[in-house]
Amino acid sequence: MDYPAEARTISNDSSTGIAAAVGRQSAVDMTRLPKYFPAIDGLRACAVLGVILFHLHVRGMALGWAGVWLFYVISGFLITGILLDAKSQPHYFRNFYARRTLRIFPIYYLLLILLYLAAAHNGTSVRDVGYYAFYMQNQLLGWTQFTPAFPTAYNHTWTLAVEEQFYLLWPLIVCFLSANFLPWLCVALIFVAPIARACILHFTHNSSISLTPLICNVDSLGIGALLAIWIRGNRLGMTKAAASLKIKQGVEVLSLAILITILSIVLSYGHRAYWNSTDWMPSVNVNIVFTTILSLWFASLVFYVAVWDSWLRRILSHRFLVHPGRISYGIYLFHYPVLIYAGSLLRAAYPHLGNSRIVLVFVTLLMSYILALTSWHFVETRFLRLKRQFV
């Protein structure tokens, strides 16, 4: 999935220097955080790996789909920060929408066109292509329970539709709402999403449509946004080392408590139930708030690595994670078509290898990475250079 290249407005060299300077402190001035967080790219790498392993049905990865909600929290955090920093600048809307378009559209529509042509050539139905063209496939896939009249190789892009709808609406909200009211709206969104999920599930008995609409995911995005507002408002009073230590310890305790809650819910329903939403959310129960609780835990991780130097930040800031995190949008976009088409070709040519889970995991990860790296260097960067005109 994406993840805002605007947050990387500092060059690699300068951002490394800033990150190193920040790393020498136990805490930083929250009003002067760098615009680029290497550890968040590390979190992106973990998120996209979890999603891929989930789609490959790797044993023990029934909760790998949670990486999507980590992406939502990160998007809410970074996009809200970008919008707050640009709120008083000229061309607020033009710059934001232009930069988002240059970042997301090129390889998304390139792959969409390729899949459309391949499907038309093979006689596969492409009747629902309009939903994908206008980023409305989250509604389509929810109602059809992921059986569209379009190649299923693009089913995973429902999450990108949620993000695009958020990108369309959130700049308007940030611009026209007062600084005092915006945090309360974020708090309201945290409650609105599980209520929406419960109502939709109760009336439709369709677990897919209770997860895919934007309204059902505004809790994760709102939690990330609220975190960005708190940090920029310096509302936690990070002025003294003693206060910083207490807050750090409080975040650690809170994170542990949330993690214990998550594990308790998973154990009560059984880990295997989380492979399919029809198993873990067939009715209105505690799982209605499960993604909200997951998002709170992810937010604690984002807050922790953004503000304090720690072993976790140092691990996530390692180039082994930062590099794939930086191109995670391409990896996410390409991995599902690779999984479906490369897997089919491999099974047809080499049945023994094609049926090996280890081989399929290796091929999917390697080809997704190669395609993402290729698109990054030959497609994406060419468009990203144009973003300089919209600063």
137-153: per-residue pLDDT in tens? 999 999 999 999 999 99
HSE-CB for 187 with a 13 A CA cutoff: 6
Q: Would the pLDDT of 388 be above 80?
A: yes
Banded model confidence at residue 5, pLDDT cuts 50, 70, 90: very low
Average of pLDDT values for 45-51? 97
Q: Are 296 and 13 in contact (CB under 8 A)?
A: no
What percentage of residues in the chain have a pLDDT greater than 70? 88
Q: What pLDDT score was predicted for residue 283? A: 87
Q: Are 354 and 346 in contact (CB under 8 A)?
A: yes
C-alpha to C-alpha distance for 83 and 80, rounded to whole angstroms: 5
Banded model confidence at residue 257, pLDDT cuts 50, 70, 90: very high
Average of pLDDT values for 304-327? 93
**Rounded to whole angstroms, what are the CA distances from 138 to 1, 45, 149, 169, 223?**
15, 23, 14, 16, 21
Average of pLDDT values for 239-252? 72
Residue that wins the pLDDT comparison between 355 and 302 = 302
Q: What pLDDT score was predicted for residue 6? A: 43
Q: What pLDDT score was predicted for residue 11? A: 34
Banded model confidence at residue 30, pLDDT cuts 50, 70, 90: very low
In Å, how far from its chain's centre is CA 77?
A: 11
Average of pLDDT values for 157-175? 97
Among 49-58, 140-149, 168-177, 304-313, name the one with the lowest average pLDDT. 304-313
C-alpha to C-alpha distance for 331 and 134, rounded to whole angstroms: 22
C-alpha to C-alpha distance for 195 and 199, rounded to whole angstroms: 6
Average of pLDDT values for 107-121? 96
373 Cβ contact list (under 8 Å, min separation 6)? 327, 330
Banded model confidence at residue 234, pLDDT cuts 50, 70, 90: low
∠ CA 53-300-96, rounded to 5° = 80
Looking at the chain, the number of H-run helices and the number of E-run strands are 19, 0
CB atoms within 10 A of CB 343: 17
**Rounded to whole angstroms, what are the CA distances from 154 to 118, 121, 134, 137, 270?**
13, 17, 14, 9, 29
Q: Are 78 and 228 in contact (CB under 8 A)?
A: yes
Banded model confidence at residue 32, pLDDT cuts 50, 70, 90: low
Q: Would the pLDDT of 33 be above 70?
A: no
C-alpha to C-alpha distance for 151 and 194, rounded to whole angstroms: 30
∠ CA 305-292-178, rounded to 5° = 75
Average of pLDDT values for 176-186? 94
Q: What pLDDT score was predicted for residue 317? A: 95
Q: What pLDDT score was predicted for residue 175? A: 95
Q: What pLDDT score was predicted for residue 197? A: 97
Average of pLDDT values for 56-65? 95
pTM: 0.90
C-alpha to C-alpha distance for 207 and 284, rounded to whole angstroms: 10
Q: What pLDDT score was predicted for residue 347? A: 83
Helix/strand/coil percent split, the chain, to 5: 75, 0, 25
C-alpha to C-alpha distance for 50 and 67, rounded to whole angstroms: 6
Instruction: Tell which residue, 9, 19, 5, has the closest CA to residue 74.
Output: 5
C-alpha to C-alpha distance for 77 and 75, rounded to whole angstroms: 5
**Rounded to whole angstroms, what are the CA distances from 190 to 78, 142, 252?**
18, 21, 21
The span from the first CA to the last CA of the chain, in angstroms, equals 23
Q: Are 84 and 7 in contact (CB under 8 A)?
A: no
DSSP 8-state assignment for residue 212:
S
Average of pLDDT values for 354-370? 91
Q: What pLDDT score was predicted for residue 292? A: 98
Residue that wins the pLDDT comparison between 27 and 97 = 97
Banded model confidence at residue 344, pLDDT cuts 50, 70, 90: confident
Q: Would the pLDDT of 17 be above 50?
A: no
Q: Would the pLDDT of 4 be above 60?
A: no
- CA torsion 287-66-64-347 (nearest 10°) is 100
Computed over every residue of the chain, the mean pLDDT equals 88
Q: Would the pLDDT of 13 be above 60?
A: no
Average of pLDDT values for 219-247? 76
Please give the residue range of the domain that contains residue 159: 5-390
Q: What pLDDT score was predicted for residue 7? A: 44
Instruction: Tell which residue, 35, 29, 45, has the closest CA to residue 12.
Output: 35
Average of pLDDT values for 236-256? 73
Domain count, the chain: 1
In Å, how far from its chain's centre is CA 277?
A: 19
